[in-house]
């Protein structure tokens, strides 16, 4: 039997986030992510200018930690491309792509989820 060593109580002062699950993300402290975030903020990097592609099963476009993170194609408003179905419907019913997109680009410090 495996017992949880701690309960996610919300927020992580080392990372500087108030998201409820962030207190359970100890691995982010190990890789010194808090220092990287602080350096990016102090350098006033415009992360909204970064475009990242996640090639996976699709994404839950209504996920509260992702809904404001999508790049939108100025020509048609789409947020990506479905290479399997050859269209712009990128919705995910398997959840793996949403999980990967969350790791890569979830909105942080919004009192939602773990990012």
Domain count, the chain: 1
Assigned domain for 2 exists:
no
> In degrees, to the nearest 5, what angle opens at C-alpha 37 toward C-alphas 27 and 79?
95
Are 114 and 19 spatial neighbours (Cβ–Cβ below 8 Å)?
A: yes
In a domain? residue 96: yes
Residues 74-104: tens digit of each pLDDT: 999 999 999 999 999 999 888 899 999 998 8
**pLDDT tens for residues 23-72?**
787 788 888 888 887 887 788 766 667 888 999 999 999 999 999 999 99
Residue 59 located in a structural domain: yes
Cα 17 vs. chain centroid, distance in angstroms?
13
pLDDT at 115: 61
Residue 67 lies in a domain: yes
Domain that holds residue 95: 20-105
**Assigned domain for 15 exists:** no
Q: Is residue 115 in some structural domain?
A: no
Cα 84 from Cα 99, distance rounded (Å): 19
């Amino acid at each position: 039997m495996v017992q949880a060593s701690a309960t996610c109580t919300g927020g992580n002062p080392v990372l500087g986030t108030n998201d409820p699950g962030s207190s359970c993300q100890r691995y982010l402290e190990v890789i010194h992510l808090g220092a990287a975030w602080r350096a990016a903020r102090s350098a006033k990097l415009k992360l909204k200018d970064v475009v990242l592609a996640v090639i996976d099963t699709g994404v839950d476009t209504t996920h509260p930690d992702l809904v404001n993170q999508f790049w939108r194609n100025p020509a048609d408003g789409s947020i990506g491309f479905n290479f399997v179905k050859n269209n712009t419907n990128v919705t995910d019913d398997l959840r793996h792509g949403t999980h990967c997109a969350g790791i890569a680009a979830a909105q942080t410090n919004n009192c939602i989820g773990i990012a």
